[in-house]
């Protein structure tokens, strides 16, 4: 057993009598706190997630191949997941966040469902993609950002006149499962009847705006140097558990904070130092920053980073901390 000789923390010597006692405890579904206190109450967060960089060059062939091997209809959601080596059992990209790359061919569609997990997507490429959220059709182009908040019916497709479309999904699936609060339902008719969504007297805990077009977001980004996707009614994050933003990167100051961040390179090339490791990235690469891990970014020339995070969940629970 691992022991730490630190004042005020567990430091109990093993004896044959204690060993027998520990075995007996286990048989009764009991345990001695002093054997695990240093692990279950770390001095500071000890994420299992590791800084990970998924190069698009490496991911892309598998995404294209999925489109040949499996039909969108049979897969329900044809997605190649980005799985952090330290969080495999949760299919998390980092911490409480899941991400994957979804691919759809012209003329394909995937049926409607809804779940407790909140979802967002950042379009990587293609023409003719759409998402229908609670009956409202949203047409998607490259680098558009779209929400499917928790509980909303949603389905995806690509018009027959379009091209193969690829987008990044971001969901808080690991958060929902950590909280044992996940639910999932398939639409009784498999597809939604188109219907205009009423935004009168909006009382939902998420943004009434579901689609943020790239041109407008990029214009705002250039004006201010950063751009957060916001709920226009509250000026806060778009959903209660996840936020998202765009950054115009030159060179950022090192920071660490609680909560995880998943990035996609929207434009340009650059580098990030994450937990002492350096990653060189280019367009469409995806990488993650685990909780309480020091990081900074720099661009070769100019670059735009899209990212989403679980900071609204951390802040709602008063768990957000940062250090610069
Ligand atoms: O498009 O609804 O990548 O429900 C994972 C779960 C996508 C989706 C994912 C989902 C979806």
- C-alpha to C-alpha distance for 193 and 196, rounded to whole angstroms: 10
How far away, in angstroms, is 181 Cα from ligand 1 center? 17
The residue whose C-alpha atom lies closest to atom 9 belonging to ligand 1 is: 169
Give domain limits for the chain. Answer: 53-195+205-323
Alpha-carbon Rg of the chain, whole angstroms?
22
Other CB atoms within 10 A of residue 289 CB: 28
Predicted confidence (pLDDT) at residue 159 exceeds the cutoff of 50: yes
pLDDT of residue 5: 56
Q: Which tens digit of pLDDT belongs to each residue from 119-135?
A: 999 999 999 999 999 99
- Identify the band that residue 8 occupies on the pLDDT scale cut at 50, 70 and 90: confident
How far away, in angstroms, is 314 Cα from ligand 1 center? 23
- Of 2-16, 73-87, 273-287, 295-309, the range with the lowest mean pLDDT is 2-16
Predicted confidence (pLDDT) at residue 1 exceeds the cutoff of 50: no
Percent with pLDDT over 70 in the chain:
98
> Ligand 1 in contact with 184 (CB < 6 A)?
no
Q: Which tens digit of pLDDT belongs to each residue from 67-123?
A: 999 999 999 999 999 999 999 999 999 999 999 999 999 999 999 999 999 999 999
Q: Which tens digit of pLDDT belongs to each residue from 240-249?
A: 999 999 999 9
Using an 8 Å Cβ cutoff, are 297 and 265 in contact? no
> Ligand 1 in contact with 100 (CB < 6 A)?
yes
Collect all residues with Cβ–Cβ distance below 8 Å to 245 and sequence separation of at least 6: 226, 227, 228, 229, 306, 307, 308
Cβ burial 210-235 (10 Å sphere, 16+ → b, else e):
bebbbeebbebbeeeeebbbbbeeee
- C-alpha to C-alpha distance for 316 and 241, rounded to whole angstroms: 8
Say which CATH topology domain 53-195+205-323 has: Jelly Rolls (2.60.120)
N-terminal to C-terminal alpha carbon distance within the chain: 36
> Ligand 1 in contact with 239 (CB < 6 A)?
no
- Identify the band that residue 317 occupies on the pLDDT scale cut at 50, 70 and 90: very high
> Ligand 1 in contact with 10 (CB < 6 A)?
no
Q: Which tens digit of pLDDT belongs to each residue from 218-237?
A: 999 999 999 999 999 999 99
């Amino acid at each position: 057993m691992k022991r730490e000789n630190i004042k005020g923390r567990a430091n109990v010597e093993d004896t044959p009598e204690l060993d027998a006692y520990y075995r007996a405890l286990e048989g009764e579904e009991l345990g001695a706190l002093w054997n695990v206190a240093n692990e279950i109450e770390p001095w500071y967060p000890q994420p299992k997630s590791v800084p990970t960089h998924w190069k698009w060059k490496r991911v892309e062939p598998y995404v294209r191949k999925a489109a040949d091997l499996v039909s969108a209809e049979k897969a329900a959601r044809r997605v190649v997941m980005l799985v952090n080596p330290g969080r495999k059992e949760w299919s998390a990209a980092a911490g409480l966040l899941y991400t994957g790359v979804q691919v759809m061919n012209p003329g394909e569609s995937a049926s409607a469902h809804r779940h407790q997990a909140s979802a967002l997507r950042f379009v990587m490429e293609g023409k003719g993609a759409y998402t229908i959220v609670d009956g409202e059709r949203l047409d998607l182009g490259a680098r558009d950002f779209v929400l499917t908040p928790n509980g909303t019916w949603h389905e995806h497709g690509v018009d027959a006149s379009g091209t193969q479309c690829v987008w990044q999904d971001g969901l808080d699936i690991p958060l929902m499962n950590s909280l044992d609060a996940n639910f999932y339902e398939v639409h009784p008719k498999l597809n939604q009847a188109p219907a205009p969504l009423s935004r009168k007297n909006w009382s939902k805990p998420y943004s009434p705006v579901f689609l943020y077009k790239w041109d407008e977001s990029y214009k705002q980004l250039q004006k201010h140097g950063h751009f957060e996707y916001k709920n226009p009614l509250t000026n806060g994050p778009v959903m209660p558990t996840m936020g998202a933003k765009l950054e115009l990167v030159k060179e950022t100051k090192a920071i660490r904070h609680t909560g995880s961040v998943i990035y996609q390179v929207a434009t340009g090339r650059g580098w990030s130092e994450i937990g002492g490791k350096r990653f060189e990235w280019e367009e469409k690469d995806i990488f993650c920053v685990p909780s309480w891990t020091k990081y900074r970014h720099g661009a070769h020339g100019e670059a735009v980073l899209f990212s989403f995070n679980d900071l609204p969940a951390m802040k709602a629970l008063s768990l957000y901390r940062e250090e610069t």
